[in-house]
Structure 1
Amino acid sequence: MTDWIIGLPTWQLTRILGICAYLLLFAGMAFGILYGYPFVKGKRKPSVYKTHMRLTNGGSLLALLHAAVLVIDTYTPFEWKEILVPFMAHEHPVLYGMGTLSLYGLILLLLTSDFRQKLSKGVWLTIHMLAYPIFMMAMAHGFFAGTDSQLPAIKWMYGATFAITLMLLGGRALIRKPVRRMAS
C-alpha cells in the first residue's frame, strides 16, 4: 500500500487538486453572489443556493486533499506543521501561509453555515463576508505559489475568475444601491 501511495504522481495530483479546488470555489462564490440578485427568486432561489453549497463544499474538499497530498509528495515534501501552521513552510512561507489561512477560512465558513440557524443573522453575515478575503488569499496563493502560473492558460484562468467576480459584485452593488430621486 505504501509503495502504491509513494508511486502516485503526487506533484501532478496536488496541482490538479489545487486548480480544481480554486475553480469550484470560484463557481461557488459566483453562485453565492448571484443568490443575492433580485431576479433569483421563486423556484430558482433554492436551486441557486444548493448549487452554491455543493460547489463550495466540493471546492473545500478538494482544497483539503490538495494540502494532504503535499505531505506524501516526494518531489517537494511538506511536513504537517508546514501545512497546518500558517507561515511555517520551508519555502515561500507567506504564500503557503495564505493557502493555509484560506483553508481554515473555508472550514470556518462551512461550519458557520451549518450552524446558521443557531447564530444571529449579524454574526453569521459578518463571518460569511470573510468569503471575499478568503477567496482573494486563495487566488493569490494559487497564482503566486502555483508552479503552473507561468502558463498562459492558467494566467487567463485567474484573470478571468477575478474579473467575473468583480463584475458580479459590481452588478450586485448597483442593483442594491437605492435610487436617489431628484427633488422637483
Structure 2
Amino acid sequence: MNDYLSTWTLIRASGFLAYYLLTLSLGIGLLSTISIMKKKKGILIQLHQFSGWTGFLTIIFHILLLWRDSYAPYSLAELFVPFGAKNEPLLSGLGTLSFYLFLIVLGSGDFFMKKLGKLWKRIHMLVFPAWLLMCIHGMAIGTDSSEPWALLIYAIGISFILVLGFLRKVDKKILKQAANSK
C-alpha cells in the first residue's frame, strides 16, 4: 500500500484533523459569546456545530483505524475502557476519556438542550476538559508530536483558544461594569 494511504498515516492524520476541527469548534463557540459577534451568532453556531460533529466523526474514524491496524492493533475493550490499553494505558485512557466527554457535550447540546435547560450549560462546559485531555493525549502519544510542524500545530491551536478565552473574559467584565454603572 502507498505510504501516504497506510493505516498508520491515516491514524496520525485523523488524530491531527480531529484536533484541528475540535479546536476550531471550541474557538468558534468562544467567539460566538463575545458581544461584538452578536450579529454573526447564527452562522457562528452553525459552524461551531458542524466543526464539532465533523471532529467527533473524525475521532470515530481514528478509533476504527486503531482497531483495524495490523502493526499495533487495539481491541475494542482497549479502545473503549479508559486506561485498559496495553500500549500507553495512561495516555490512551486520556484519549478515551476525551472521546466520552465530547460525546456527552455533543449529545446533550444537539439532542437534549431544551430539556436540560440551565443544566445544559454546565454539561457543555465539559468541552474544556475534553479538549485539554485531547491535547495531552495527542502531544504525548503522537509519534509526530516532537516534529516542529506538529509543535506548531499544537501551539497555534492552544494560543487560539487562550486568546479567545481571554477576550471572552474581558468582554464579560466590560459588560458587567457597564451594567453596574447604569
**Alignment partner for residue 29 of structure 1, among 17, 20, 26?**
26
TM-score, normalisation: structure 2: 0.91
Q: CA deviation at 1:170?
A: 0.7
Identity score, percent: 34
2:36 partner SS: coil
Alpha-carbon distance between aligned partners in 2 of 1:45 and 1:171, rounded to the nearest angstrom: 16
TM-superposition CA deviations, 1:125-151 (whole Å, max 9, x none) = 111011111100000000000111011
Q: CA deviation at 1:75?
A: 1.4
Alpha-carbon distance between aligned partners in 2 of 1:40 and 1:162, rounded to the nearest angstrom: 21
Residue matched to 2:164: 168
Alpha-carbon distance between aligned partners in 1 of 2:84 and 2:46, rounded to the nearest angstrom: 36
2:177 partner SS: coil
- Are 1:111 and 2:103 an aligned pair? no
Letter in 1 for 2:170: L
Aligned ranges for residues 41-60 of structure 1 at < 5 Å? 41-42=38-39, 44-60=40-56
- Structure 2, unpaired ranges of 5+: none
Aligned ranges for residues 26-175 of structure 1 at < 5 Å? 26-42=23-39, 44-114=40-110, 115-121=112-118, 123-175=119-171
Structure having the higher helix fraction is: 2
Aligned residues: 174
**Alignment partner for residue 17 of structure 2, among 17, 20, 27?**
20
Alpha-carbon distance between aligned partners in 2 of 1:56 and 1:78, rounded to the nearest angstrom: 25
Letter in 1 for 2:99: L
Q: CA deviation at 1:179?
A: 2.7
**Alignment partner for residue 179 of structure 1, among 155, 177, 180?**
177
1:91 partner SS: coil
RMSD between aligned residues:
1.7
